[in-house]
Structures are given as C-alpha cells and as structure tokens.
Amino acid sequence: EAGVAQSPRYKIIEKRQSVAFWCNPISGHATLYWYQQILGQGPKLLIQFQNNGVVDDSQLPKDRFSAERLKGVDSTLKIQPAKLEDSAVYLCASSLGLGGNYNEQFFGPGTRLTVL
C-alpha cells in the first residue's frame, strides 16, 4: 500500500515570495492534516480536512497561509507572502477518519522550506 506522498521535498525561496506544497494521502483516507515542524520541536497542526471540508483551521495563519482539498483527495498548502519564520518542514498526514481507531495518523516525508 502506497504511503502519503508529498512534493516537492525541498524548496528554497526568498521572503515575500509565494510557495505551494502538494499532498496525496493514503488511498481511502478521508481525513487529511497539514502540520508545521520547526527545527527542534514537535509538529504543530495547521489545518485538518474531512473529505473536502475543513474540520479545524484554528492554528492556520490565514493572512498568509491557505489550503484546499477540492475533490476530497489530494491537497495543496500555499504560503503567500513567505516570511523568514516560515522556514520549517511541512508535513502532511492522513487517517481513515475521525475518532477512535480511525484517527491513527500516517505521515508523508515532508517538504523542507527555507526562506532567505
């Protein structure tokens, strides 16, 4: 069974530029998560989708970050304009669903973003 796919794996941009990340979850997984992991810390949730609807985006900096999952499968996360403090690894995860055993989450390899 294929795991969570993410691209690109690495991205270097200058501040104030825009960037987009793509994620394809495990087949059949209804729930998709985007996390931000700053060096030396654990991942922190940015946004959570159930199918194509947003479940929780309370920690997403909406003035510069946006995300969509239009067809309920793959998802894109965009940053516009990027700031230096956005340098981090962006991780996508998926789970079968919400609650109980359905919420076991599986992570992709991540996209390492460097903002200069």
Partner 1 sequence: GIQVEQSPPDLILQEGANSTLRCNFSDSVNNLQWFHQNPWGQLINLFYIPSGTKQNGRLSATTVATERYSLLYISSSQTTDSGVYFCAVEDSGAGSYQLTFGKGTKLSVIP
In 39-73, which positions are buried (b, 16+ CB within 10 angstroms) versus exposed (e)? eeeebebbbbbbeeeeeebeebeeeebbbebeeeb
Q: Does 53 bind partner 1 (CB under 8 A)?
A: no
Out of 48, 60, 69, 75, the only residue in the binding site for partner 1 (CB under 8 A) is 48
Instruction: Write out the binding residues for partner 1, residues 71-100 only, by CB under 8 A.
Output: 89, 91, 98-100
Cβ atoms of 45 and 59 closer than 8 Å: yes
Q: Does 25 bind partner 1 (CB under 8 A)?
A: no
Cβ atoms of 47 and 90 closer than 8 Å: no
Q: Does 28 bind partner 1 (CB under 8 A)?
A: no
Binding segment for partner 1 among 17-25, 34-42, 62-70, 76-84 (CB under 8 A)? 34-42
For the bound state, the minimum distance from the C-beta of residue 85 to partner 1, rounded and expressed in Å, comes to 19
Q: Burial level of 13, CB count in 10 A (0-12/13-18/19+)?
A: middle
Q: Does 42 bind partner 1 (CB under 8 A)?
A: yes
Q: Which amino acid is at 58?
A: S
Out of 17, 52, 105, 114, the only residue in the binding site for partner 1 (CB under 8 A) is 105
Out of 17, 20, 76, 106, the only residue in the binding site for partner 1 (CB under 8 A) is 106
